[in-house]
Amino acid sequence: MLLQSLLRSTAAASTAARTRNLSSLRSNLLAPTAVAAAAVLSRPYSKAKTKTTTKGKVRGKDPRGVSADDATRPEDASSAADDDLNVEFELPTDPLPVTYDPALDVGPGGRPLFSFTKSFSSLGRKDACTYVDLSLDEWKAMLPEGLPPGMVKEFEETRRCAVMVRQSFLDLRDNFRYIVDPPIRTGAKNSKRQIVLDGPVSCGKSITLAMLVHWARCEGWLVFYVPKGREWTHGGFFYRAPYSDLWDTPVGAAEILQDFLKFNESRLQQLPCQIFDPIPLGEGAGVGIMKGVDSMAMPEGSTLYDLIQTGIAYTHAAVGVVVRLRKELSLVKDIPVLFAIDQYNNWFTFSEYQEPVTVRSCRPIHARELSTVNAYRSMMHGDMMVGAFSHSTAVGKLRQELPDVPLDARVMLPRYNLDEAATVCHYYLRQRLIRHETFSEEKWKKIYYLSNGNGSEMRWLAPFI
């Protein structure tokens, strides 16, 4: 009993000291007004649910962001002390000003905050560190496969569907633009057909990839966009392919085909199939192998749309159609074809599937052993392809030299630099995440250096100014 009393008193003392040190750190690094904000943060808090309108504006249901149940539920002293380390500031709920106001849309140095365009094609170096404002409907129309989670969270908390044009995005866009339309000037830098976007956490890899897909589709390109590569290795049925040593995932394959049709249906109806070899059949989702038939032939004159519809209609052929589609897209020459894969790092580690080895043991199945991943993972070809690592779905540290990837393909995407951070903070000021009366250059620089240019951390710290 004496030992338990000593341990409880020691734990209480360490918790109190940790809380005092955290309060002192916030007081020193942030503005004096953060002390008042810290008092607000000491209350029990649960993040308010949000609702998105058709215009892309998000408003909280409860102005305080605290439900009645949360306010009345007693909190344990020790858990409350731990929650102080993971608090979140209340989202603003006051009405936003008009969409465009010259008096408010001012960036660093008095420069314009927005670039008025509906496409990323016309943007140049002079437009770097400006925002492009699109509606949520426009984003969903160009990216019906889904938006990156980081982009959705940015839109919700800023209550506006605008993205900042960074120089790193312009370089990536021009890299692929010069492949299709080489510049006339001599001495232009050689472009890369295969690129792997890498970089620290929350440096904007997924958002940059989504902007690239938006631009390519506005240019009329055929884009095979995978916003969630992790779903290729997780979930659904899996079977040993009877025609190879790989594993089939028919449910995931059908979803891949359906996503690809969402934006490209009209274009695929105009592209004829160029391979007419029989499509191998595997096990269907929950229905087993088709008896007496092991392949399916595509009739002469079929289009890529017909090929995809076959894979959706017949679950036995879904995986075979996805593999065949990869070969067909590499033969398309009438229009540029781009493969854009987010969460690409999940294709170099183990999937969630396991193969029984003995009665008491299973062998984990690697992503390369899946038929769909095996067909699309490699970059050792002449097609244009860009993959983005996602550290939010990280499953371990990968080596520098990846299999099936060129040695010079990796491009490191940096976090915000000082100029970009200035633009971001002025944008948050415009969206009232930061109060005008407390905003100053010294204070936003403290936020920048405290977060080390991490975009999500800057957004979280902005209300403390």
Q: What is the pLDDT of residues 256-289, one digit of tens each?
A: 999 999 999 999 999 999 999 999 999 888 888 8
Measured CA to CA, the distance from residue 249 to residue 354 in angstroms comes to 13
What's the confidence (pLDDT) of residue 325?
A: 97
For 284, residues 6+ apart whose C-beta sits below 8 A from its C-beta are: 250, 290, 314, 315, 316
More confidently predicted of 63 and 391: 391
The span from the CA of 362 to the CA of 233, in Å, is 17
Residue 29: pLDDT over 50: no
Which whole number is the average pLDDT over 356-361? 92
* pLDDT given at position 10: 47
Helices 418-430/441-451 angle, 10° precision:
120
Pairing status of strand 247-248 against strand 279-280: unpaired
**Cα within 13 Å of Cα(166), Cβ side:** 24
What average pLDDT does this structure show over 209-235? Answer: 96
The whole-number pLDDT of residue 93 equals: 61
**Residue 376 identity:** Y
pLDDT-based confidence at 344, cuts 50/70/90?
Answer: very high
Mean pLDDT of 358-386: 95
Average pLDDT over residues 70-99: 52
* pLDDT tops 90 at residue 2: no
Of residues 21 and 98, more confidence is placed in: 98
- Of all residues in the chain, the percent with pLDDT exceeding 90 is 61
Q: Please check the confidence at residue 11 and state whether its pLDDT lies above 70.
A: no
Average pLDDT over residues 23-27: 43
pLDDT score for 166: 96
Is the pLDDT score of 35 beyond 80? no
Closest CA to 260 of 195, 180, 322, 173: 322
Q: Which residues pair with 195 in a beta bridge?
A: 386
In this prediction, what percent of the chain has a pLDDT beyond 70?
77
Mean pLDDT of 223-251: 93
Q: Which of 172-176, 336-340, 387-391 has the lowest mean pLDDT?
A: 387-391
Whole-number average pLDDT of the chain? 82
In which residue are the tokens 């649960």 written? 46
Bin 19: left if φ > 0, else alpha if -120 < ψ < 50, else beta: alpha
- State the pLDDT at residue 97: 65
44 has a pLDDT exceeding 70: no
DSSP string, 420-464: HHHHHHHHHHHTTSS-GGG--HHHHHHHHHHHTT-HHHHHHHGGG
pTM of the prediction?
A: 0.79
Please state, in angstroms and rounded to a whole number, the distance separating the CA atoms of residues 189 and 174.
Answer: 11
- Give me the mean pLDDT over the 440-450 stretch: 93
Computed on alpha carbons and rounded to an integer, the radius of gyration of the chain in Å comes to: 26
